[in-house]
Structure 1
Amino acid sequence: MRRVWTSGAERDDRTGTGTRALFGETMRFDLSDGSIPILTTKRVFWKPAARELLWFLSGDRNIRRLVEQGVHIWTDWPLAKFNATSGETLDRDAFEARIVDDADFAARWGDLGPVYGAQWRHWPRYTATNDGLYQRDPSGIDQIAELVHGLRHNPSSRRHIFTGWNVAELIDMALPPCHMTYQYFISDNRLSSILYQRSCDLGLGFAFNIFEASLLLRMLAQQCDLLPGEIIWMGADCHLYRNHAHLVETQLARTPRPFPRLDFARRPADIFGYAIEDFLVTGYDPHPAIAAPVAV
């Protein structure tokens, strides 16, 4: 963060906000001692992040389930689309209330397109019909189920990969995947992972990205009878928004504290059976939260 803020290239961006950015950065986090990388230089509300990960793993693409749980992180994109299309000027609270109360409204306006979970669990697959045409298999390819099977039955494979970067469907997504490709590696009964992130908002997004990737690694390790190893984070366009000066300068002035510990309350029957109550985070002692706007 300090290097990006002091020496990053000044760049325009899609949102019109402007950024400072570095390209091609790497960080490594050792999870073998049970710790979990949740930032301590500001409070990270990790439960919404965990709920987002569980939503991804469900394969859902509509914000309704998130909003019902008080998770607002995906609301800004469909809200902006609704206001631009309808000519109304709903605020977030009014829009979310309609999403929760009206199933038809949620189906139309809460859908994000084939974002993360849709690709993770239902990557499109087409099968030939008797008349020589192709039809889409509604279930698609479950990349997560196949990953778990591969980790269990072929641990030395170099193909333990899943991705959300489906080129054919990017145009239909509310936001193309930023944390786009995950790969896993087993050595000495320890599971390690690389997350390749094409675009990283260091001020807001990174805190969720690294926590969720680490949480997923721990869940996979538990399901596959493995110990946690390392998570390696690879960021391509690593940026800070120009209007996040207060956030950046406040964080950089603070002294980091030790990472907390993650334990599980139980072992579900499969990777899709986890609930928020299963995640036990202890020893989290962060500095206070810092508010900052999201660039949409």
Structure 2
Amino acid sequence: MTNHPEQQYLDLINHLIHKGDRRMDRTGTGTLSTVGAMMRFDMSGGAFPVYTTKRVFWKTAVKEMLWFLTGQTNIQSLLRENVRIWTDWPLAAYRKATGEEISQEDFEGRIVADDEFASKWGDLGPVYGKQWRRWLGADGKEYDQVAEVIATLKSNPSSRRMLFHAWNVPELGTMALPPCHMTYQFYASGLGREEPPKLSLMVNQRSCDIGLGNPFNICQQAALLAMVAQQVDMTPSELIWVGGDVHLYLDHMEMAETLLSREPRPFPTLTLARKPASIDDYKIADFEVVGYDPHPAIEAPVAV
């Protein structure tokens, strides 16, 4: 299926393997890297771009997006949803500060059970959700960028200013990890016609771990497009992803070769079971995904 939309992902991996710039990185792992990449996924027929050449745990990815939308920055609520993808950073900070070689499981157990411990050790700093929903301006006011985008889509959908981002320069140093997926820009088309307008989303990502991060990112960004489109009475159209520094970690080479040996299968379809009152009210149970039949999952290490 060479015309399968997932082929874009496989072509990018292949490019990194054969033409990527070999370089050392922040984590000390080493990568094959390139700059400037684009992928486009058509969601107009209900397609949900969850990669199929390995199993993507799409519920975990969507739960992370729902967490971003709450504006929270503490991993306690994530862990209560059994989402463990952010634990590595506060765990490393705790071990460094205390010298205690606590296991990840025990650390997460303490975060979940002890609010005081979670408050001290489970916060990631002013990461995505804080910037999206509670950006603190120089005037001392908090700005809800997501709500503003939705309001503009309803009142002035041809605007060229419908975006939100998380690259808050003064606060980068206090974040567990500076934002990788930085800018989300919405574009409405087909305005003024009888059928509902179409909504597209372009995401600019400054840094992308192609093996582990990108499958999650694409899935959750597609979920966001579906939610926003529903809230403004539009239909999802295109998810456009633009990558800056796109890299393959050297210890992901075996995974990459396995992915390239597999044939993509049809994407599943996504239906939202209800229309919540606002963007704040979605639950994981609202996402009905049908027809997901991926190849088996592939284990690979996370670079911290």
Is 2:250 the counterpart of 1:242? yes
Q: Which amino acid aligns with 2:267?
A: F
Q: Secondary structure at the match of 2:77?
A: helix
Q: What is the number of equivalent residue pairs in this alignment?
A: 286
Partners in 1 of 2:18 and 2:98 — Cα distance?
Answer: 42
Partners in 2 of 1:216 and 1:55 — Cα distance?
Answer: 12
Q: Secondary structure at the match of 1:89?
A: coil
- Per-residue deviation at 1:125? 2.3
TM value normalised by structure 1? 0.96
- Per-residue deviation at 1:246? 1.5
- Per-residue deviation at 1:126? 4.1
What residue is the counterpart of 2:61 in the other structure?
49
Q: Which amino acid aligns with 2:176?
A: A
Q: Secondary structure at the match of 1:169?
A: helix
What residue is the counterpart of 2:8 in the other structure?
none
- RMSD between superposed Cα atoms in Å: 0.7
Q: Structure 2: give runs of 5+ residues left out of the alignment.
A: 1-12, 191-196
Q: Secondary structure at the match of 1:251?
A: helix
Q: Secondary structure at the match of 1:80?
A: helix
TM value normalised by structure 2? 0.93
Is 2:279 the counterpart of 1:292? no
Q: Which amino acid aligns with 1:215?
A: A
What residue is the counterpart of 2:47 in the other structure?
35
Alignment partner of 1:144 out of 140, 143, 146: 146
- Per-residue deviation at 1:228? 1.0
Per-residue CA shift, 1:200-219, capped at 9, x if unaligned? 00000001111111110110
Partners in 2 of 1:97 and 1:193 — Cα distance?
Answer: 37
- Per-residue deviation at 1:91? 1.4
Q: Secondary structure at the match of 2:262?
A: coil
Per-residue CA shift, 1:122-157, capped at 9, x if unaligned? 000244xxxxxxxx34xx100011010000100010
What residue is the counterpart of 2:80 in the other structure?
68
Alignment partner of 1:274 out of 268, 271, 282: 282
Q: Structure 1: give runs of 5+ residues left out of the alignment.
A: 128-135
Runs of 4+ off more than 2 Å:
none
Is 2:224 the counterpart of 1:219? no
Within 5 Å, give how 1:196-215 maps onto structure 2: 196-215=204-223
Partners in 1 of 2:104 and 2:201 — Cα distance?
Answer: 36
- Per-residue deviation at 1:117? 0.2
Is 2:187 the counterpart of 1:185? yes
Partners in 1 of 2:261 and 2:118 — Cα distance?
Answer: 42
Q: Secondary structure at the match of 2:137?
A: strand
Q: Which amino acid aligns with 1:199?
A: S
